[in-house]
Amino acid sequence: MKKKILACLLILFPIFSLGIAKADTVKSKYIIASDSSFAPFVFQNSNNEYTGIDMDLIKAIAKDQGFEIEITNPGFDAAISAVQAGQADGIIAGMSVTDARKATFDFSDSYYTANTILGVKESSTIASYEDLKDKTVGVKNGTASQTFLTENQSKYGYKIKTFSDGASMYDSLNTGAIDAVMDDEPVLKYSISQGQKLKTPITGTPIGETAFAVKKGSNPELIQMFNKGLANLKANGEFQKILDKYLASGAATTSTSTVDETTIWGLLQNNYKQLLSGLGITLALALISFAIAIVIGIIFGMFSVSPYKSLRLISEIFVDVIRGIPLMILAAFIFWGIPNFIESITGQQSPINDFVAGTIALSLNAAAYIAEIVRGGIQAVPVGQMEASRSLGISYGKTMRKIILPQATKLMLPNFVNQFVIALKDTTIVSAIGLVELFQTGKIIIARNYQSFKMYAILAIFYLVIITLLTRLAKRLEKRIR
């Protein structure tokens, strides 16, 4: 009897689960990475929310299948790295299914078919691939369009310039820094429909199907849920509704707001919340990392003047290694490299939060310079003082604390202030890992409204004001300490 019931259950279960077309979630929440500006698939509207076919689709599928998602929009290149490093569980970013990618990604069923196509300014005379000889073509790093350009480069003799995001690529085309761009056809056509003065002189080349992807071998249930959800949405007409919302004539635009974003005032009015939150992240990054850097820097600085050779050596290695690695590489290494390495050894995804990774990179970087400031400060105090004090029988530690450090600190203070300003500016560099601090916030806004001149001017003023205020404050503190 028991066996019969079990057999019945075993037979019924798959039928039942097929009937409601739901797969089982494994994680309580899935992190989905996407592009930052790839309209109509993903873009920010003027309410600063990410919308587009991909955003609506993944949300609808998550709802249909009953799983939780958190979406991040670091840009295509960074989104790919995030999935490979286990920072994100899946990527939806108008991503083309290519044979090369199949080696490292598992793809869902396709939900779109796209071509890659050349875009030039309306006034351009480029009319064929042959016309591209010695010209510069822009493309986003890591995209199928990039593969196409690289494969055909020797045939047509153009130069390729890669960009990390669509916004800077289109900006460069508009300003004439590059002669053409290669991008997905729906994306270029969409931007033209939104009033961009561009044209597509050559017909597009198929780059395949567009699909959702996970890292090969991981989160198989996510692909299952995506496929089931997509099938359900296709069956109930919701998928078509999403496509129509963005692709039909008179479809949702990047700018739905009534505020005119062509003026500085309009830009501020519409984006101040987002800019302030970006500023908050920038300040938090700078302050926290600088506080940590001071502690590490002082320790290594003291090591560097220690009577013990081993400590001096440790300090020297630390300073040389960190100073010798560009900050951007350090951040990328911590954010993408290390989790990828740990996963390859343990088989466990071990993502690190982008803010934490950025803070660690900034702390280490500033610590190396602070260690040098500390060394310089201590060495600037005449050696005679140490010798005199030691000959009076006062210990090394006490001489340091009571005689050398008070004088050295005064010498170091202006350099500390300087280093803090540098640390604050360096936060812009760690935006490369997709951290949405002030600079990245500005870039995202520009991706939507193409107001690069005014927006970068606003950003410059933001930094200028903040840095001036903070240096004034630091100078006051410095005076007080003196």
Interface residues with ligand ASN (CB under 6 A)?
35, 38, 76, 93-96, 140, 143-144, 184
Beta bridge partners of 72: 33
d(CA 465, CA 478): 20
Task: Using CB positions, name the residue nearest to ligand ASN.
Answer: 143
By C-beta, is 42 or 361 nearer to ligand ASN?
42
Other CB atoms closer than 10 Å to residue 288's CB: what's the count? Answer: 16
Note if the bond before 40 is cis, omega within 30 degrees: yes
Q: Which token pair is 449?
A: 């409204």
For residue 343, the one-letter residue type is: E
By C-beta, is 93 or 360 nearer to ligand ASN?
93
Q: How far is the CB of 38 from ligand ASN (least distance, A)?
A: 4
Which residue reads 């974003």 in tokens? 261
Which residues 6+ apart lie within 8 Å of 126 measured at CB?
A: 118, 120, 132, 135, 179, 180, 201
By C-beta, is 247 or 338 nearer to ligand ASN?
247
H-helix segments, 236-353: 238-247, 264-304, 309-324, 327-332, 338-346
Q: Is 442 helix (H, G, I), strand (E, B) or coil?
A: helix
By C-beta, is 165 or 426 nearer to ligand ASN?
165
Q: How far is the CB of 105 from ligand ASN (least distance, A)?
A: 10
d(CA 367, CA 380): 20
Q: How far is the CB of 25 from ligand ASN (least distance, A)?
A: 26
Q: How far is CA 265 from CA 268, 272, 448, 458, in A?
A: 5, 10, 17, 10
User: Which of the 8 DSSP states describes residue 94?
Assistant: S
By C-beta, is 94 or 351 nearer to ligand ASN?
94
By C-beta, is 37 or 428 nearer to ligand ASN?
37
Contact 423, 293 (CB under 8 A): yes
CA dihedral for 222, 103, 153, 77, sign (positive or negative): positive
Angle formed at CA 413 by CA 412 and CA 418, multiple of 5 degrees: 100
By C-beta, is 157 or 206 nearer to ligand ASN?
206
Q: How far is the CB of 277 from ligand ASN (least distance, A)?
A: 25
- Residue 231, Cα to own-chain centre: how many angstroms? 32
By C-beta, is 212 or 336 nearer to ligand ASN?
212
Q: Which token pair is 13?
A: 């279960």
Which residues 6+ apart lie within 8 Å of 144 measured at CB?
A: 96, 98, 116, 207, 208
Q: Which token pair is 99?
A: 């044979």
Q: How far is the CB of 100 from ligand ASN (least distance, A)?
A: 11
By C-beta, is 40 or 297 nearer to ligand ASN?
40
Which residues 6+ apart lie within 8 Å of 100 measured at CB?
A: 147
- Residue 197, Cα to own-chain centre: how many angstroms? 28
By C-beta, is 207 or 458 nearer to ligand ASN?
207
Q: How far is the CB of 143 from ligand ASN (least distance, A)?
A: 3
Nearest CA to 54 among 38, 42, 37? 42
Q: How far is the CB of 216 from ligand ASN (least distance, A)?
A: 16
Q: How far is the CB of 93 from ligand ASN (least distance, A)?
A: 4
d(CA 477, CA 482): 9
Q: How far is the CB of 331 from ligand ASN (least distance, A)?
A: 22
Q: How far is the CB of 378 from ligand ASN (least distance, A)?
A: 52
By C-beta, is 114 or 252 nearer to ligand ASN?
114
Q: How far is the CB of 212 from ligand ASN (least distance, A)?
A: 12
